[in-house]
Amino acid sequence: MQNNVLILDFGSQYTQLIARRVRELNIFCEIKPYNHLPDDLLEYKAVILSGSPFSVRSEEALHPNLDGIKGKIPLLGVCYGAQYIAHFHGGNVAPSKTREYGRARLATIKEGEPFFRNISAGSQVWMSHSDTIQKLPEGAELLASTEDVENAAYKIADEKIYAIQFHPEVYHTTDGKQLLENFLVGIAGLEQTWTPDAFVETTVASLKREIGDDKVILGLSGGVDSTVAAVLLHKAIGNHLHCIFVNNGLLRKNEFEEVLEQYKHMGLNVKGVDASARFLDALAGEEDPEKKRKIIGGIFIDVFDDEAHKVEDAKWLGQGTIYPDRIESVSASGGPSATIKSHHNVGGLPDYMKLKVVEPLKMLFKDEVRRVGATLGIADERLGRHPFPGPGLAIRILGDVTREKVTILQEVDAIFINGLREWGLYDDVWQAGAMLLPVHSVGVMGDERTYEKCVALRAVESTDGMTADWVNLPYEFLQKMSNDIINKVPGVNRVVYDISSKPPATIEWE
C-alpha cells in the first residue's frame, strides 16, 4: 500500500474529517502527529497541515519541522497550517478585529487559478478562527477573499504551497471536496486509485507475506469489523485462521447462539467460548467506566491466551481495529489530541502472551469497512448490522454491573432494536441501543407506587462514528417503545430519549 497523502495533526476537531474527504476522492491518506513525522517523507505525494485550537502567536504554538516538506512536496495549510506558514515565513498573524467563525462566502477569486477550478465567487465556506493573516508570507500571491477576511487563500507558487483560512473538510464548505481534488489531483498529481477492490487485493497479498503459514486466532464479535477482518484473513490464509466467539455475558439477548449459527454458513472456522461468569465476576462492584473497559479487555486477553494454547503453533492474534479506534485512543504527548476513551481493540498485549497482533482494517473508517465487506461478498444483513461496543452492555450499564442489570438491559434493548426493524427504521439509524441509568424514579402502576429504574434510548446517524447526530424518531414509535418497555420489563418505570450529538457528547454514555 502506497502512502499517498500525509495529514499532520495539530489537534483540530476536524482533522479526521480531512482524512474522510481525501478518502472519498479515492486517495489514500493517513494522519500523524505534527511532532512525529515519518522517516521518509518522500513516500508522500502531498502534505496537509490541519487546523488547531492553538494560536501561532502564543507561547504554546505547535511548531512542526517543515524542512523536509517545504518546497519539496506539495503542501496545503488549513487554518492553523495556513497561519503558521504565513507567520513564520515573512508574514504576520494578528488577532481578528471581526468574528471569523461560521459561514462566509468567497467574494473574490483569482481568475484562472487551478486551485479554484470549478469554484465560483459566492461559494460558501466555513470559518473557525480568532486570528487572521494580516500580511502574506514572502513570495505569496493572494488567491481569494471573503467580505471580512482579505487573505482567505494564498499560494507560494515556487514551493507548491497553498493555504486557506477556512475548512474545506466540513459539509458547510459547499465546494470543499472540489478544492481538495484540485489540490491533490490537479496540483499534486495524485491518482485516484484507493478503492475497495484495490484494498482487498493489496491487503490479502500483504497478509500472505506477513503471516505465511502461521496460525492466527481472531476474536469474532458478530459485528461488521471483526467479520470483515475474519473474511480478509481467511481469504489470505484459509484454515490457518482460528476464530473464537466469546460470550462475555454482556451481549445482546440471544446473540451468542444466533451469531454462531450465522457464522456456520460463512465457511469460517469458529469456536464458541462461554466465559460469561468469568467476566461478570471480575466486574462485580466496579463503577469506573475506564476500569470496566480495562477489566473486560484483560479477561478477553486471558481467554484468548487459554484458547491459544489449544491451537498448536498459534503465532498471531487478529483484531478488527479500525482507524477511528486508533485516532481516539492515541494521545498527544505523541500528538496534540487528548485521549477520549480507551478502545477494546487498542493497547497491545502483555509480555506473557506470545502472540503478535495483525490488524487488517486498522487504516479504514467504518463506511470503508462496509464497502470492503461488500467487495468480499459478505451479506448485506451482516454489513448493515449496527455497531456494538466491544465491552458490550457493561458500558451501557452506568455504574456497577450485575447479572440482574444485564438481564433488564437485554430485554429493553431487544424491544428497542426489534421495534426499529418492525417499523422499518433500522436501516435509517447508524447505531442504536439502550442505557440503564443509575437512577430510580417514582412511578405509579395500577394503584401502587413504584420506585424503579430509568432507561435511556439512543439512536444516531453517522458516516463513520467520528461525528454523529441524534435521529428524530417518530413520536408514535417512541411512545410505543416506552409503553412496551415499561409494561414488559420488570424493574423499569421510566424511559427517556437521548437527543445529544457527537460532539460534544459521545455515542456511548461510558
The tens digit of pLDDT for each residue in 361-381 reads 998 988 899 999 999 999 888
Strand partners for 317? 217, 357
Question: Does the pLDDT at position 156 exceed 60?
Answer: yes
Is the pLDDT score of 317 beyond 90?
no
Q: Is the pLDDT of residue 279 over 50?
A: yes
pLDDT at residue number 97? 73
**pLDDT at residue number 341:** 41
CA distance 504 to 256: 33
Mean pLDDT of 398-424: 97
pTM for the full predicted model: 0.74
pLDDT digits (tens, 9 = 90+) for 143-152: 999 988 999 9
Residues for the chain: how many in total?
510
* pLDDT band for position 139 (cuts 50, 70, 90): very high
Please tell me which residue, 317 or 143, carries the higher pLDDT value.
143
Question: pLDDT tens digit string along 469-508?
Answer: 999 999 999 999 999 999 999 999 999 999 999 888 899 9
DSSP 201: H
CB distance 164 to 82 below 8 Å: yes
Q: Does 443 carry a binding-site annotation?
A: no
Q: Which residues contact 89 (CB under 8 A, 6 or more apart)?
A: 137, 138
Residue 403 parent element (H or E): helix 403-422
How far apart (Å, rounded) are the C-alpha atoms in residues 387 and 69? 39
Looking at residue 351, its pLDDT comes to 60
Annotated binding residue 492? no
**More confident of the two residues 415 and 35:** 415
Q: How many CB atoms lie within 10 A of CB 113?
A: 16
- Does 172 or 247 have the greater pLDDT score? 247
Percent of the residues in the chain that have a pLDDT greater than 70, as a whole number = 93
Phi/psi for 288 (5° steps) reads -70, 125
Which long-range contacts link 415-424 to residues 24+ away (Cβ below 8 Å)? 415/481, 415/484, 415/485, 415/488, 415/489, 416/457, 416/481, 416/485, 417/252, 417/386, 419/477, 419/480, 419/481, 419/484, 420/459, 423/474, 423/477
Lowest mean pLDDT among 1-5, 75-79, 390-394: 1-5
Task: Identify the CA nearest to 8 among candidates 61, 54, 65, 55.
Answer: 65
Give pLDDT, residue 353.
Answer: 64
Say yes or no to pLDDT of 328 above 80.
Answer: no
- Rounded Cα–Cα distance for residues 232 and 220 (Å): 13
Which residues, 6 or more positions from 165, have their beta carbon under 8 angstroms from its beta carbon? 79, 82, 83, 100, 127, 129, 132, 133, 149, 151, 152, 153
Is residue 227 marked as binding? yes
Q: pLDDT, tens digit, for every residue of 112-128?
A: 999 999 999 999 998 87
Alpha carbons 216 and 218: distance in angstroms, whole number: 6
- Please give the grid coordinates belonging to residue 295: 477489566
**Residue-wise over 31-58: b if at least 16 C-beta within 10 A, else e?**
bbbbbebeeebeebbbbbbbbbebbbee
Query: What's the rounded Cα separation, in Å, for the pair 441 and 488?
Result: 18
pLDDT for residue 313 is more than 90: no
Positive or negative, the CA dihedral 194, 198, 199, 202 is negative
Checking if the pLDDT of 98 tops 80, the result is: no
276 is in an annotated binding site: no
Strand-pairing partners, residue 82, are: none
- Determine contact, residues 403/477, Cβ cutoff 8 Å: no
Upper half-sphere CA count for residue 11 (Cβ side, 13 Å): 20
Cell of 261: 449459527
Question: How sure is the predictor about 134, in pLDDT bands with cuts at 50, 70 and 90?
Answer: very high
Catalytic residue list: 79, 167, 169
CA distance 64 to 81: 10
DSSP state of 120: -
CA distances from 23 to 1, 82, 177, 184, 196 (A): 14, 22, 11, 11, 11
Q: Kindly tell me if the per-residue pLDDT of 441 is higher than 50.
A: yes
Average pLDDT, integer, range 206-222: 91
> Hey, how many other C-beta atoms are within 10 angstroms of the C-beta on 29?
24
Mean pLDDT, all residues of the chain:
89
φ/ψ of residue 351, rounded to 5: -60, -35
**Which pLDDT score is estimated for 425?**
98
What phi and psi, each to the nearest 5 degrees, are found at residue 504? -85, -20
Q: Model confidence at 345, in pLDDT bands (50, 70, 90)?
A: very low
Q: Would you say 221 is a known binding-site residue?
A: yes
Share of the chain above pLDDT 90, in %: 66
- Dig out the grid coordinates for 162 from the structure: 497553498
In 3D space, the residue among 482, 429, 490, 430 whose CA is nearest the CA of residue 457 turns out to be 482
pLDDT in tens, 39-76: 889 889 999 999 998 899 998 889 999 999 999 999 99
What distance in Å separates the CA atoms of residue 500 and residue 459, rounded to the nearest whole number? 10
Q: Give the Cβ contact number of residue 276 at 10 Å.
A: 17
